[in-house]
Amino acid sequence: MTQPPGRSPATTGGRQSLRVAVMAATEELTQAGVPSPKVDAEELAAHLLGVSRTRLGLHPLLDAEQFAAFRDLVERRKQRVPLQYLTGVAALGPVT
């Protein structure tokens, strides 16, 4: 099946595949030397969508605005802005 001109297989009616966007972000973060690129890409996507990482599969597409916001977060993470700063969430160990 051929794609219409100007439309990639990862695009559907102006929406982007979340899976493809996360894979591309993982590659970019790897090249930038981020220690946990896949987890970081997934955490950024989950933060953007307001879901946990385990629920990302339920959101297969990003609209143009979400995709642009995701790209912005990835660019900032590539500049080594801490993930916790970008998401506003930090995991803590046991508090006693």
d(CA 39, CA 35): 9
| Distances 61 to 28, 42, 53, 68 between C-alpha atoms, Å | 20, 14, 15, 13
What amino acid is encoded at 10 in this protein?
Answer: A
Helix (H, G, I), strand (E, B) or coil at 61: strand
Average pLDDT over residues 47-75: 95
Report the pLDDT value the prediction gives residue 84, as an integer from 0 to 100. Answer: 93
User: Does the pLDDT value for residue 3 go beyond 50?
Assistant: no
Average pLDDT over residues 1-19: 60
User: Does the pLDDT value for residue 5 go beyond 90?
Assistant: no
Average pLDDT over residues 30-54: 96
- Asked if residue 83 lies in contact with residue 77, where contact means CB atoms within 8 angstroms, the answer is yes
Average pLDDT over residues 65-78: 97
